[in-house]
């Protein structure tokens, strides 16, 4: 029973997208269809409504019935001093959604000692990504394994640095959703670890991806550079762990970084920084 439920939960996003597309199509173009198809259209519409309700119920209630996975220790994808945003150490789902295996995802922005990062609400609403210290920083593989997906063609857009620009980004994100998870994550790399888990690093700089599908990588290997591609408000590194290669069907898995130093602590620990907390990772 749990296996069947998990299978349904995995396809909730596809189910919702398909049913919404059907209902939207009927509402826009239903009047153009022949009257002879009316009984068929009515049946399909009711099934679409049922599918949409089922998808919503699965999304709302599903997580409490899922098997609780163990936390996996992975290597930090970045080196130096980074600030955590949208961290699962503060709340889950960390990004407000569980779609695309992002339940335990974390965002990292570079704040090296002695360098000021442009602050939200100060200055222009949209800044070139080169004005942020994170842009172009090295990104490394969190695990050893095989690359199952790698992209590099998405452009690096300007930041969304004020409230109106952030609202624009929310509408922009809705359009990106139509293109699928690749347009949300931008340039990204997915590595299947030797243990069978899938490590995702995203929002890489256009053209910086150094690996390709089918290639073997080792933990700590340089795989690209931090960019501002996809649904991103400023240059940063997004990473998460999941149990399937398919971003549509994957369920997110908890993780922590190996040997990082949090804030001003002296000793390295296996952990994730909380929102607003700095971590320092050595390479």
User: pLDDT by residue (tens digit) across 47-101?
Assistant: 777 777 777 777 777 777 777 788 999 999 999 999 999 999 999 999 988 889 9
Which of residues 253 and 10 earns the better pLDDT score? 253
Which of residues 40 and 93 earns the better pLDDT score? 93
Q: Looking at residues 229-247, what average pLDDT do you find?
A: 94
User: In Å, how far are 150, 257, 259, 271 from 267, measured between CA atoms?
Assistant: 35, 14, 9, 12
Placement of tokens 């699962």 in the chain: 88
User: In Å, how far are 31, 33, 54, 72, 180 from 42, measured between CA atoms?
Assistant: 13, 12, 18, 48, 28
Least confident of 27-36, 108-117, 158-167: 27-36
Residue 255 CB contacts under 8 Å (≥ 6 apart), including other chains: 71, 72, 73, 74, 104, 142, 240, 241, 272
Read off the pLDDT band of 266 (50, 70, 90): confident
Torsional class of 172: left (φ above 0), alpha (ψ -120 to 50), beta (otherwise): alpha
pLDDT at 231: 92
pLDDT at 237: 98
Which of residues 159 and 188 earns the better pLDDT score? 188
pLDDT at 129: 93
Task: Report phi then psi at 281, rounded to 5.
Answer: -120, 135
What is the CA 262 to chain-centroid distance, rounded?
23
pLDDT at 37: 66
pTM, two decimals, is 0.85
pLDDT at 5: 65
Which of residues 22 and 5 earns the better pLDDT score? 22
pLDDT at 2: 65
| Residue 1, pLDDT above cutoff 70 | no
pLDDT at 114: 78
Least confident of 120-129, 133-142, 226-235: 120-129
Task: Report phi then psi at 217, rounded to 5.
Answer: -125, 160
Q: Looking at residues 208-232, what average pLDDT do you find?
A: 96
| Residue 184, pLDDT above cutoff 80 | yes
Read off the pLDDT band of 19 (50, 70, 90): confident
Residue pair 142/207 in contact (Cβ under 8 Å)? The answer is no
Q: Looking at residues 128-150, what average pLDDT do you find?
A: 96
Q: Looking at residues 145-169, what average pLDDT do you find?
A: 90
Residue 2 CB contacts under 8 Å (≥ 6 apart), including other chains: 65, 67
User: In Å, how far are 8, 9, 105 from 65, measured between CA atoms?
Assistant: 12, 10, 20
The two tokens of residue 231 are 């649904």
pLDDT mean across residues, the chain: 88
Q: b vs e for 54-67, b when ≥16 Cβ sit within 10 Å of the residue's Cβ? A: ebeebbeebbeeee
Residue 244 CB contacts under 8 Å (≥ 6 apart), including other chains: 10, 101, 198, 250, 251
The two tokens of residue 254 are 């908890």
Task: Report phi then psi at 15, rounded to 5.
Answer: -60, -45
pLDDT at 49: 79
Q: Kindly compute the dihedral angle of the four CA atoms of residues 75, 77, 79, 81, in this order, to the nearest 10 degrees.
A: -100
| Residue 141, pLDDT above cutoff 70 | yes
pLDDT at 180: 83
Neighbours of 195 (CB within 10 A): 9
End-to-end CA distance of the chain: 45
């Amino acid at each position: 029973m749990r296996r069947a439920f998990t299978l349904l939960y995995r396809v909730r996003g596809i189910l919702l997208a398909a049913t919404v597309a059907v209902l939207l199509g009927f509402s826009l173009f239903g009047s153009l269809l022949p009257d002879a198809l009316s009984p068929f259209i009515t049946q399909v519409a009711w099934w679409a409504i049922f599918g949409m309700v089922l998808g919503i119920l699965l999304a709302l209630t599903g997580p409490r019935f899922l098997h609780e996975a163990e936390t996996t220790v992975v290597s930090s994808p970045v080196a130096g001093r980074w600030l955590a945003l949208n961290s699962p150490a503060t709340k889950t789902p960390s990004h407000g959604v569980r779609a695309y295996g992002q339940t335990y995802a974390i965002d990292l922005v570079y704040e090296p000692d002695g360098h000021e990062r442009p602050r939200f609400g100060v200055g222009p609403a949209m800044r070139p990504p080169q004005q942020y210290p994170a842009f172009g920083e090295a990104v490394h593989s969190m695990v050893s394994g095989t690359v199952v997906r790698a992209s590099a063609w998405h452009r690096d857009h300007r930041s969304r640095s004020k409230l109106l620009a952030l609202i624009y980004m929310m509408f922009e994100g809705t359009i990106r959703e139509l293109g699928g998870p690749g347009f949300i994550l931008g340039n990204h790399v997915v590595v299947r670890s030797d243990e069978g888990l899938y490590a995702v690093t995203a929002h890489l700089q256009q053209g910086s991806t150094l690996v390709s599908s089918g290639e073997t990588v080792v933990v700590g290997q340089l795989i690209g550079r931090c960019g501002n591609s996809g649904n991103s408000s400023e240059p940063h590194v997004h990473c998460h762990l999941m149990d399937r290669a398919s971003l549509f069907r994957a369920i997110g898995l908890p993780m922590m970084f190996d040997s990082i130093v949090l804030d001003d602590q002296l000793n390295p620990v296996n952990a994730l920084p909380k929102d607003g907390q700095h971590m320092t990772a050595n390479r």
